[in-house]
Structure 1
Amino acid sequence: MAPRSAAAKLAKRNKIKKTANPPKRSDAPQRPAGTEVSAKIPLELQQLLLNVFRNAFPSRFGSDLKPLLQEVKQHLYNRDFLTAFGKAEYLEAYAVRWSPSRALGYLQIFNDLEQHFPAIEEPGSRDPGSPWRVVCLGGGAGAEIVGLAGLLRQLTRKETPSESTQDTAMSAPTQPLFEISVIDIANWTPVVTSLQSAITTAPTLSQYASTAAKESNAELLSPHLFKTTSLQQDVLTMPAEDLSAQLHNADLITLMFTLNELYSSSLAKTQAFLMRLTSILQHGSLLLVVDSPGSYSTFTLNGAEKQYPMHWLLDHTLLSVPKDARSNKEAPKWEKVHSDESRWFRLPDGLKYPIDLENMRYQIHLYRRLP
């Protein structure tokens, strides 16, 4: 789905006529709006992720990029997503323009939330050789894929004080494996394939590259550690059995700048989709929702009479227990383990990329499926 900065900010929303009373806050840990308490991501790693996009689409940075982006923006402004994502050159232009900044922001998010991902590294938490499975809903443009590649790169390069970098990279039997599935309404498979190749293949060097550059040239990740697949489907109309086949064994589901668009498309269908998601996912599965903060994510219910924040609708669907269920002493099906209504990811100085990159403001909510 199109990021809010590229689509919804271009299309003016209906003016808010009446706002619902502020909902009660979740019990999940909250930080004051706009605060940032994040571990620093090495600049070198962030540059490597930007290089993935450059290496995946080397011919897309020519003089035709700007007019292509203008065409894509116009289609997004008109909310004509089928046209905006209907041509290969549009998809590549979109990926090189908007996904790199998002990928770095997502890496920061994944890094900050790693404490909630014990299944990645926890000994005995999964069978040897079993991958950590992530399904990215609306993630065809590749930001989630590259961000997760950055997380895995960090995990495989962890050091201890007493050992050298080379010796302390995780041994092969204990290295985590990532299996990433992307489900999107557009056919992003060529883009996903190109990014996968750029992540798992050493970059092509100039014939004039130095000996040192040639000796240090290597892929970001080994191919056996990081695998991706792409599926073109509308999750709101996807048959239940197909949705279950894709999601039932997922460790993490992501909705990154996608849920707001789903709600805008159909509130009823999105609520129904979240209920199906709840019935499919296994105990311990995580749902990560990232979207534009505050008033950028409000929705009209009952005509234009009231507006509800996106996170309130989400909490209402996932955390509430219906009255008839409460009478049967049914427990909630989800717990909210992390929440922040407004955060910034700010790009560090020193990064190199052919076109401008942008800081990212977002809200974030992480839920865990209960037994």
Structure 2
Amino acid sequence: MLALGYVCRSCLHGALRTGGSRLRGSGRRFVSAAVRQIQRPDRKSSSSSLAQYNKHLGLLRRKPGVAGEDLLQQTLKECTSIKRAGLQPDLSTYESLIAIFCKVGSVREGMKTLEEMLQFSIEPSVSIFDTLLRAAASQDMMNEYNQLLLLLQTNCQSKITPAIYQHIIQVMCQHGDYERALNTLHAAIDQGIIPTLATFVQVIRASIDNMEHKEAYALLLKAEKLVDLSEYPKIYLECLRSAADDLSHEATQSCWKQTVTVYQIEPDEGTCMKVLHVAGQNGDVELANAVIDYYVTNGFDVGEPHFAPLLQAYAKSGQIKSAFELLAFMREKGVPPLKETAVPIYHQIRNDPSAIDGAFRILEELHRDGKDVDVTALNIIIHACAKAGDVQKAMEVYHGARDIGVIPNRDTYNSVLDACIAAKQPYEAKVIIDDMHSAGVSPDVVTYGKMVVVECTRSDYENAFNYLSEMKRRRMANASMMSKDSVEAQIGALSLHSGDAANGATTTKDELSKETALHSKRGKTKSSNGATRARPSLELVKERIKCLGKNPEQSILNVIKLACYSTLSSPSYETTLQSIKAAFYQRDYLSIFSNPSNLPVYTAAYIPGRALCYYHIFKDEPNLRRLLAGQTRIFLPGSGSGSELIGISAAMLWASSPDQQISLHMQDIGEWDGVLQDLEKAARSSWNLQDQITCTFEQGDILEPTDQRKSEIQQAKMITFMFVLNELFKDKSRAIRLIQDVIKDMARGSYLLVVDSAGSFSHLQIGGKQYMVYFLLDALKELETVVSYDAKWYRFPDDLTYPVDLQNMRYFLRLYRKM
């Protein structure tokens, strides 16, 4: 009888000391009645007497409204009666006692009772563990919960039911113990237990939350075999989003079919765009068409961003004719194709002269069949000829335009000029620009820039300067910048990559001095706020861009790999990356950037794509390249991860000048010092950057108005917000105040560069309507818009290698100058 005495005197009295809610009224009267019934002397046998006591204990544990101290007191009386009767408590007795302890919130006393059972070789039932586990979980007693799990697996592993597994896995998922939940699920299946639908849903969602997209799809396939997913078909939609995020073709294809075709669930537009992206990358025309059909059926607007992946799918699957037909269809439907829309066709034909010939034959075939041929199709073929350096083929395609019913446009002429530049054919270029004038097509600044470059392949640059004069006469934007950049930086690149610097691509001081006669004073000038402004030096550009090698983009990735080597090779890299992805999924940005151990992993995984994009922005945009040629102080909020540092450092090489001195002042909320130092060191050593660049970093919140922030804004020649402004506008009032302070404190003539997502992430909610974030800045009268792109793609070359997948970027760009 020691066991029951232990229960009565130790556990119950210990529980009484824990307190609880007081009972009144009917609950107390019920317990008193139960006690009187137990004390009746007409017991026929010990077994029947114990059964009677157990019955009343069971009534106590299940009676609604009975809890707290009174319940424990009445339970103690029952136990005392059992002891006095000389009865041995059985499993049912213990089940009731433990349930009562859990009912009053005394999990530890319940566990003591369980330990006593094991001590006296009374095998606990699965329901006892279930009761204790649920009580421990409800009180967030995870140490006790884990102890109970261990006891359960030791004593009742084979008796665990699917419902108990569901609860166990649910608790694990709720507490972020994903790996354990996944292992527990697999262990249950291995034992022949069929988990519930809810269990599968929990672990699939946890997999998605932890960015384990492939695991989520594998679990979905397993669930299809074991449970009826028709009871919760929306899990297919959740897996569709996950698969599209992971760019998993098979999973995306399968989940789209189940979501839309089988269960007729309507995915949101963002999910559809991601599915289109997967279809385009994998050449899946059927899937891409299915998504377009879904858009049309549901009344969504279909524009260039939707047709572009379909065209990519046609091109990747080798259906060039269908891709050309799609370009004509787009124009017919009022969706003019962009030059970038047809780029996937270029990628398919660029390295094969027979493929280029075949592409033009397709255009001829379409014309013979009475179908429209879009000028964009012609232009992309000429572009492929130009990149191949085949000026003869480019001219043949150009001259064949009218034979297939195509009227050349400005892009057509500019593409042919590219071929002339590649082949160093200034005479052919002159024919083209004369044709352009004859056709009534006005050259733009790009056209004249190309003419300047091709004319510089002559030994005499006189014609090049004539075109510069024409640009100025027509008051074309950027003409003064083109005078130096085209004759130096662009030609320097031409001579370097052609390997023929002696063939008309070397500029001497005497030859460049002709520009002085044509264009007033050259060299150093003063900007409107007095800052020194210089232009690139041909000789320095030619020398310094050698550091980038023949593949500048790969050189940039190599620098990042060098800086992040220890991070990429760390055993904890993948684990940390998955936790970062999970935080992104939950939009918990603060937890990512406030944890110093996350920052090197974030940089290694996320900056390569942006660094490549920023490199091209600063290298290819003349106004920015001009700023990089002089003594320019740049303030870069939100730049701690290093994308701006790497992109600008590489682009600087294309703007090299004797006066080049770039001062980067970076600020971010995280502790990025070490990361930036490693990146700066790698960039300096790889690209031979010495005194041309200085870098400083300050940790702080840019939304916080401080004297330091004001000073940085006032001193900066340029302020950048690159993929950070949208995040700042989550605190709309403080972000607007920041913009006001920036505009107020900026020096006259200084620049504001804003680059961010061109998608819905850049929407601001104002007065019940949504606007792109740049609308706010465009409306400010203090700012002059210098460069404006509402949507532009950066697509990385196919031949790049990096340990992490690279993503193409679609962005908007605004470069403002303070009036």
- Could you say whether these structures have the same fold, taking a TM-score greater than 0.5 normalized by the shorter chain as the test? yes
Equivalent position of 2:783 in the other structure: 334
**Counterpart among 755, 763, 766 of residue 290 in structure 1:** 755
1:177 corresponding residue in structure 2: 661
8 Å CA contact retained: 1:33, 1:343 = no
Preserved CA contact (<8 Å) 2:549 2:555:
no
The answer to whether residue 516 in structure 2 is matched with residue 49 in structure 1 is no
Residue matched to 1:95? 603
Residue 368 of structure 1: aligned partner: 817
Question: 1:188: how far off?
Answer: 1.1
Displaced runs of 4 or more, over 4 A: 32-43
Contact 2:593 2:669 in 1 (8 A): no
1:275 aligned partner, one-letter code:
Q
Matches within 5 A, 1:185-200: 185-200=669-684
TM-fit CA distance, 1:88: 3.1
1:272 to 718, 727, 737: 737
TM-score, length basis structure 1: 0.70
Corresponding position: 1:138 with 2:628: no
| 1:366–1:33 Cα change, 3 Å | farther
Q: Which moved more, 1:180-189 or 1:141-150?
A: 180-189
Shift of 1:246: 1.5
TM-score (norm 2): 0.33
Measured after TM superposition, the shift of residue 315 of structure 1 is 2.0
Amino acid at match of 1:227: T
Match in the other structure for 1:359: 808
Please give the alpha-carbon distance, in whole angstroms, between the structure 2 residues aligned to 1:78 and 1:106.
27
Are the structure 2 counterparts of residues 315 and 35 from structure 1 closer, same or farther at C-alpha, using a change threshold of 3 Å?
farther
Point out the structure with the larger helix share.
Answer: 2
What is residue 717 of structure 2 aligned with on the other side? 251
Shift of 1:33: 8.9
Q: Distance in 1 between matches of 2:680 and 2:575?
A: 27
Residues 156-198 of structure 1 show CA distances to partners (whole Å, capped at 9, x for unaligned) of 3xxxxxxxxxxxxx5xxx1411111111111211111111111
CA contact (8 A) 2:635 2:665 kept: yes
Count of residues paired in the alignment: 286
Q: Give CA-to-partner distance per residue, 1:141-163, whole Å, 9 cap, x none.
A: 1001000001112223xxxxxxx
- Aligned partners of 1:176 and 1:94: how far apart in 2? 31
Alpha-carbon distance between aligned partners in 2 of 1:256 and 1:135, rounded to the nearest angstrom: 11
Q: Structure 1 residues 141, 33: closer, same or farther in 2, change over 3 A?
A: farther
Q: Secondary structure at the match of 2:666?
A: strand
Residues 289 and 49 (structure 1), Cα distance of their counterparts in 2 relative to 1, 3 Å cut: same
Secondary structure of 1:248's match? helix
Contact 2:618–2:625 (8 Å) recurs in 1: no
- Identify the residue that residue 162 of structure 1 maps to in structure 2: none
Identical positions, percent: 31
1:73 aligns with 2:538: no
Q: Which runs of 5+ in 2 are unaligned?
A: 1-210, 212-243, 246-267, 271-335, 341-410, 412-445, 447-489, 494-547
Unaligned runs of 5+ in 1: 1-5, 16-31, 123-130, 157-169, 202-218, 320-331
Task: Name 1:328's counterpart in structure 2.
Answer: none
Map Cα deviations across residues 114-143 of structure 1 (whole Å, 9 max, x no partner): 335544436xxxxxxxx3111111111100
Q: Is the 8 A contact 1:95 1:142 kept in 2?
A: yes
AA in 1 matched with 2:572: D
Deviations 1:294-347, CA, capped at 9 Å, x for gaps: 423112234xx322221212223xx2xxxxxxxxxxxx3110111111110011
Q: What do residues 26-58 of structure 1 show as CA deviations (whole Å, max 9, x unaligned)?
A: xxxxxx896559999975222221111111121
Letter in 2 for 1:137: P
Structure label with greater radius of gyration: 2
1:120, 1:148 → 2: CA distance? Answer: 8
The residue number in structure 1 matching 2:592 is 84
Higher percent of residues as strand: 1
Q: In the alignment, does 2:566 pair up with 1:59?
A: yes
Summarize the Cα distance change of 1:155–1:229 in structure 2 as closer, same or farther, 3 Å threshold: same
Which AA in structure 2 matches 1:64? S
- Whether the 8 Å contact between 1:34 and 1:344 is mirrored in structure 2 is no
Distance 2:618 2:737 in 1: 27
Q: Say if 1:142 and 1:315 are closer, same or farther in 2 by CA, change over 3 A.
A: same
**Superposition RMSD on alpha carbons, in Å?**
2.8
2-structure distance, mates of 1:117, 1:140: 22
Q: Distance in 1 between matches of 2:621 and 2:776?
A: 23
Give the Cα–Cα distance (whole angstroms) in 2 for the partners of residues 64 and 362 of structure 1.
32
